[in-house]
Chains A and B, each alone.
Chain A
């Protein structure tokens, strides 16, 4: 087992995983309408290859990648294309083009959905990368970076270690935990495919110690493979952040932006992505569904669903027994980094790991007080920058000072704002500074 190195910062958050950690993954069903944004990944939006009124089958490609950093999009179920029109994008918080699919309820698979290989020996690294691109794989941890790009590091930067991120340090969410417990074999199969494609000789599965069932299952699954090790992390937010994980497990630090993990010979992928890779190879199934945790005190029956990409939130919440009381806040993602939504009539995207519903009791509505310079944000910042100053500069429009104070290093984990006794929206100010600095640099 890997010894864990010292990591700085972090906060102890209430886990709340018990709400849904013992609920087996269920198929959520086929909704009345499926909304597929052309941009649900990092990079260029995909290019639609279907027209309205076209009939499509489950797993059929409906939009192709545009450029290198992009991802394909597939129909999650069989049905008719109703329209290609702008809809409200829950993550980007703006109107964005989406393909609207009217399911016919038959759920008939396209003929392309068939096993591609049953053994990794039959596939070359190049073939694995091609499958990842064809199947529209993106990182399912949240950033949705196209997997095929990640698996093809530049030649002068060899990869020695691949980390499989099963830390799931966001409170409430249990999607990765259930997946590791129930589908350990497939997750490891996908992980081995990643390792082969990237040329990494060593693999490490990283799990927080609050998931004993997942640790057991994964331990068994990695038994036959000597090149894969297990790292058990103490539970502390944000241990599962890419950079924090590399620091904790390998003792390496990624260079500041635009530095990437591959600069220190590491790639990190989420367990959900590994599972999707396995499904692509073993079943020929593109990324058309994912595990979503629907939880929170505001949901009657917290659940873990296997949901079609593009399923409306309202459909999933209804499947989870509907609201428990009057909802005050609906969050897409976890409570630390997720986005609050103005209504539930929006679809999930590839990067959606959870839907969280809070009633009034869970919503913090404390007044924002002046900064008392207690330094708690400095203590907890995993990037070891000083959020209070950056936020203060940003608030006063001093973007150059904010840049000098290393605003761009911020990973937006929210630990500072969580810890702040004055309840200041530090992350919000820092995000603003980052946007302004990016605009300044472009100009």
Chain B
């Protein structure tokens, strides 16, 4: 009997948190926004979501089979990638857009770099950036009117806002998501509900969304109006566009965000600044994707320089000061 005893290193107990459980939490937190998108933009949205998720999971399984690696689709990370990608799409995009986007996200952005944990940019955003570059017309024109589901021509509310500093939409419409925009970015209430769930479950760090949206709001207030400084409509600035979706669900991706709380705050602030730069002075109407992708690339640098002060560090500082003082006197 005794020889069946298991030998493992300490600790012998473990928290209930698992990678799969965390991914499941993210999926749960995205459900309200997905549902809101389907209600606002019609059943077409559901097709996009399903296509994206299925393509992501299939791409992961097929790649891992071909590369003769263990198939890890049951860690749910591919589902999260597919779902996030779908939520960033214009609701009238053709069905093959999310399929190619998901396949690119999983295979090129994630698996080629070693799979979960070793990708250097957020796969969903890399997939989105690819399809924006590949089929720009679909990604900038396939918008639908909320609730009526008819195609619209002309600029999105965000593009109008970036040019004029104002929007015709009321705060209530913005919170409920009754505006043209990407599938999952419009319904702020649903997104916030998901964000609060994730923060309550200790999955994400509040510092990233707060730092991001705070910086964006402050910057929009200062620079966001063509009439002069400090007159921008900061609330519409954060509610329009994908900043809420991006800051809560994408910038907080573990693999591509810093590991320290302070570092995460810097990441949020940095992404906010870049979003602002692109929106106010840049050529694109929306900068969330590139802002987060850029901060993904900066993450290793943040991790290198933003390190927590170790226990007892003040003694080393004192010793150094004493040595320096002794040298000069």
Contact = CB atoms under 8 A, between A and B. Distances in A.
Q: Let me know if chains A and B touch directly in the complex, using CB atoms closer than 8 Å.
A: yes
A220 interface: no
B311 A326 contact: no
B17 A382 contact: no
Interface string B2-41: 1111111111111101110110000000000000000000
A324 interface: no
Contacts of A326: 1, 4
B7 A379 contact: no
Interface in B251-298: 254-255, 257-261, 264
Interface string A258-283: 01000100000000000000000000
A55 interface: no
Contacts of A428: 9
A414 B75 CA distance: 25
B164 interface: no
A62 to B, nearest CB: 29
Interface string A406-434: 10010010100111111101011001000
Contacts of B172: none
Given A373-B259, A384-B310, A337 B254 contact: no
A338 B12 contact: yes
Interface stretch (A108-116, A196-204, A228-236, A339-347): A339-347
A383 interface: yes
A337 B310 contact: no
Contacts of A385: 308, 310-311
Interface stretch (B110-118, B123-131, B181-189, B236-244): B110-118
A243 B311 contact: yes
Kindly state the interface size class of chain A when it binds its partner: 35 or more
B71 interface: no
Given A376-B17, A386-B259, A423-B14, A329 B5 contact: yes
Nearest to A323: B1
B312 A254 contact: yes
B315 interface: yes
A327 B8 CA distance: 14
A341 B5 contact: yes
A253 to B, nearest CB: 4
A340 B260 contact: no
Contact of A340 (B6, B114, B307): B6
**Which of A243, A254, A362, A376 is the most central at the interface, judged by chain B CB atoms within 10 Å of its CB?**
A376
Contacts of A247: 311
A372 B254 contact: yes
A372 B17 contact: no
The A interface, classified by DSSP as helix, strand, loop or mixed, is loop
B14 to A, nearest CB: 4
B9 A366 contact: no
B314 interface: yes
Given A13-B13, A171-B13, A336-B10, A256 B315 contact: yes
Interface in A307-345: 326-331, 333, 335-345
B14 A370 contact: no
Given A370-B115, A375-B259, A417 B311 contact: no
A374 interface: yes
Contacts of B114: 370
Contacts of B68: none
A326 B5 CA distance: 10
B299 to A, nearest CB: 9
A389 to B, nearest CB: 8
Contacts of B255: 372-373
Given A372-B116, A422-B19, A384 B9 contact: no
Interface residues of B, number: 45
Interface string A355-380: 01010001111100111111110110
Given A327-B1, A328-B6, A414-B11, A423 B311 contact: no
B218 to A, nearest CB: 26
Contacts of B21: 421
A216 to B, nearest CB: 29
A421 B15 contact: yes
B5 A369 contact: no
A331 to B, nearest CB: 6
B259 A423 contact: no
A419 B116 contact: no
A411 to B, nearest CB: 9
A345 B2 contact: yes
24 contacts: A171-B13, A253-B314, A253-B315, A256-B310, A256-B315, A327-B1, A327-B5, A336-B12, A340-B7, A358-B12, A366-B14, A370-B116, A370-B118, A372-B254, A373-B255, A375-B205, A375-B258, A375-B260, A375-B264, A382-B311, A384-B310, A419-B17, A421-B18, A425-B9
Interface of A: 8, 11, 13-14, 171, 243, 247, 253-256, 259, 263, 326-331, 333, 335-345, 356, 358, 362-366, 369-376, 378-379, 381-386, 388, 406, 409, 412, 414, 417-423, 425, 427-428, 431
Given A340-B8, A383-B311, 18 more contacts: A11-B15, A256-B312, A326-B4, A335-B13, A340-B6, A343-B3, A345-B2, A363-B6, A363-B12, A370-B114, A373-B117, A374-B259, A375-B264, A379-B261, A383-B310, A385-B310, A386-B308, A418-B13
